[in-house]
Structure 1
């Protein structure tokens, strides 16, 4: 139990930190609080305070015990900084030798004190990061290791940090709606997406272009726009044919059960070679209160304001280069909502198909990774399987069950260690005495293993786009694969494009969308809106969907 005397000591430490942007030295603090030394030792024993290298540090629990507005704000900032630090660690895949290296990856100006340095100190005192400390301030400034943050979704500050309004909390959020004009075949395009959306349509109707657009948005949330605007579009027509050299889009994201969502609006002008972001806004959409909150981002021509209603009142004026989104820089700890949205968009993953060629990285031993996410080419599949077998036995057993149901002669799956922290997956089959490494498996088996490993992974990106997963697979495995993706959609949002009637037949009508062209424009249609079609599918089942797909009847529904 923390009494008022304890709180006063903890508050005195916090007051020193906030006034000086430095953690107090034990010697100097005791000169003012000599009679409180026994209590300070007791606070250390209770993990509310730490004595590290001759300085006092509050832990997150110590901040919580302070029970002041300033302490709650610091807790909220630590929570808001979490996704940005996790992203920085994944980008660097190692420690940051010097603090400026970390700030460069975060995309913010180096400042060893204040809003970034102090929260790093609290996280270090709580055992979540490790670092060498500045002699002058005690703030982490060298050999900063953030690995301890990777497995954390939310810091233990519930009930004490300033709470975001539920509609602004992006934990478990999904991309709800896309509106797009001026990009390739899209003009006045809109699509409402579910937790699982399976897209069909003829070639050149916009399925892959929709994936490319979402990948472009994720890229732009992390990087300046190159001269070609979309780095994957070199040599292709970027802007909608016959239209001006500009594109605009709006994304709605949030939790499906929430009454409001975040709406992100952007307009980019060409020409290719000289892109300019002319407008950018992040607003709360569908807010039920009489007074609509002001935009969280509001920029025109690179100049604008950024704010967050949840932690700090007021706003900051920014100027960003013409070829950058302000969202890219909105990862400060006092901007939890824009920061969460930036992390949400930057975390999207895209899988156009795995590289299973004879020399592919997927077939070779790879370095063990902490909490790996499957690479887009599948190159770190063995690392993903290594993490599953060691840390997620339930997911591993689910994977083996799927493989047993789809691979004739399957006995077991395993991983083998190799020299210097390397690992490779191995498979055992009936009638073969030797284990088969990934290098020896068929292309189809490797593809199936990759898709199933992705589907059973406990930690998934918030949005996963998968292009034609049926390629190279026998029709009999498609029901199992569809079921695995449906289960994964409970933990992530899955968007799939397919040309397979057998695969399509495994999904409910409500999960299907049709992409088609109308007067040169891509259009997104939900066939479930047809009452006649619903009756036919209810009577016949998935076979009706397959037949209607083959006869193109699905694609011409009004």
Structure 2
């Protein structure tokens, strides 16, 4: 596989090289692809205030700074807070503070929760709470890259939150392109047939994508008298492997 460093080295060839333009275009497009895989441990930590807040890192390590930047847009912030409260109802508010044990140019996240006298530092919040905050923040990103890929989008997310996740993913897809994988029939139940691509494997081990064409998927759904698509997929009726 060619690395970004190798692409830079190739781009350093004389400007009359026929491949320079094509490689430059490829490098530009690769730089606009985000493989989003939140590192919950990193996302819990305070982050230095910088221009990094304009863009949520692939591992969500700058979550605090990204939220600080997002809060400058009151409408975007209110929508995010409403979403968080839908899936974690005990959260009353999200506060961005300067941690007392850190330098002044750092931001930390604290959660205000019903029934608790003090605030909960994100460092002390549950794994699932931090991950859902990372995922919802991603979908409210006002400046998404060209393509965002998410492996196991449902990982660590409460099943009751998957409906909202699918809805926000669909809305975010109007601003950018998303490619996600899942093994959750509950999440697939929230998708439309044209949003679902079952993946299979031949006896040789070669991948089959899609494992079933869209017209066949629609046919199976109709023949089942419109059984939820995730249930049909789980039963094996739509192809793909679990």
Pairing of 1:354-373 with structure 2 (within 5 A): 354-356=38-40, 360-370=41-51, 371-373=53-55
Verify the 8 A CA contact 2:233 2:240 in the aligned structure 1.
no
Task: Say if 2:219 is the partner of 1:532.
Answer: yes
Bigger share in strand: 1
Q: 1:536 to 1:449 in 2, by over 3 A?
A: farther
Q: SS where residue 399 of structure 1 aligns?
A: helix
Structure 1 equivalent of residue 190 of structure 2? 506
Pairing of 1:169-180 with structure 2 (within 5 A): none
Matches of 2:141 and 2:173, distance apart in 1: 11
Structure 2 equivalent of residue 240 of structure 1? none
Task: Say if 2:24 is the partner of 1:343.
Answer: no
User: RMSD of aligned C-alpha atoms?
Assistant: 2.6
Q: What is the count of residue pairs matched by the alignment?
A: 230
Matches of 1:549 and 1:503, distance apart in 2: 11
Verify the 8 A CA contact 1:399 1:452 in the aligned structure 2.
yes
Matches of 1:224 and 1:515, distance apart in 2: 32
Verify the 8 A CA contact 2:93 2:111 in the aligned structure 1.
yes
Task: Say if 2:25 is the partner of 1:224.
Answer: no
- Unaligned runs of 5+ residues in structure 2 are none
Q: SS where residue 223 of structure 1 aligns?
A: helix
**Which stretch shows the higher mean deviation, 343-352 or 488-497?**
343-352
Structure 2 equivalent of residue 401 of structure 1? 82
TM normalised by structure 1 equals 0.39
Verify the 8 A CA contact 2:48 2:107 in the aligned structure 1.
yes
Structure 1 equivalent of residue 58 of structure 2? 376
Residue 327 of structure 1: how far off its partner (Å):
4.1
Structure 1 stretches of 4+ moved >6 Å: none
TM normalised by structure 2 equals 0.85
Structure 2 equivalent of residue 455 of structure 1? 139
Q: 1:547 to 1:433 in 2, by over 3 A?
A: same
- Unaligned runs of 5+ residues in structure 1 are 1-215, 226-301, 307-315, 331-337
Pairing of 1:75-474 with structure 2 (within 5 A): 220=3, 222-224=4-6, 317-318=16-17, 327-328=22-23, 330=24, 338=25, 342-352=27-37, 354-356=38-40, 360-370=41-51, 371-390=53-72, 392-418=73-99, 419-474=103-158
Matches of 1:317 and 1:478, distance apart in 2: 52
